[in-house]
Amino acid sequence: MTQPQPAPRRRPRKQIPTPIQLGVRPSVLLVRGLFIRCPACGGRHVFRNWFAMVERCPTCTLKFERVEGHWIGSLGLNSTVIFGAMLVVLLGGSIAFYPDVPLGPLLVAELTLALVGPLVFFPPSRTLWTGIDLLMRPLEPGEIDPRFVVVDPYRDRPAAT
């Protein structure tokens, strides 16, 4: 009795980082995100209003919510940035006015930053987080219009030797 031949093992495709796929530096992805643009193409109009983001970029069709729970990272980023700004205000005010630190104005500044800061930084935190996510996880087929991809891992793979 002959034994069945095992199926040939398929090697996983080599992942190509997103900056190489798009032909941009990693810093470009982050700066685009910081200025409320699509990190992949730099396109504008990615928000319907201050709190509602479109599902896909109108220019390159990048899907912004790449996985379920994607926006939890932007909330963490927003919190970290605002807490950092509050720390800078607290330390800067304390050092500048030492030893007679005016608690009233410093408290007003901290509360204003705590209440207004997250609202102001909301759109940049979402697009910046998408840029960070693109740096951590390469693009998959169908996530973006192929015309914006310079190096496609499926199209540009080396010939088998």
CA 37 – CA 44 distance, rounded (Å): 5
- Kindly give the confidence (pLDDT) of every residue in the chain, 161 residues in length, as a single tens digit, with 9 standing for 90 and above: 677 777 777 766 677 888 989 999 999 999 999 999 999 999 999 999 999 999 999 999 999 998 899 999 999 999 999 999 999 999 999 999 888 888 899 999 999 999 999 999 999 999 999 999 999 999 988 889 989 888 877 676 655 54
CA dihedral over 105, 111, 116, 118, signed as positive or negative = positive
Q: For residue 48, what pLDDT is reported?
A: 95
CA distances from 43 to 12, 61, 142, 145, 155 (A): 33, 10, 18, 13, 25
Reported pTM: 0.83
Q: For residue 13, what pLDDT is reported?
A: 64
Q: CA angle at residue 101 from 100 to 103, to 5 degrees?
A: 130
Which string of b and e fits 81-110 if b means at least 16 CB within 10 Å? bbeeebeebbeebeeeeeeeeeeeebeeeb
Q: For residue 12, what pLDDT is reported?
A: 66
Q: For residue 58, what pLDDT is reported?
A: 95
Q: Which residues lie below 8 Å from residue 23, measured CB to CB, with a gap of 6+?
A: 150, 151
CA 50 – CA 131 distance, rounded (Å): 19
CA 95 – CA 71 distance, rounded (Å): 36
Q: For residue 159, what pLDDT is reported?
A: 55
Q: For residue 76, what pLDDT is reported?
A: 96
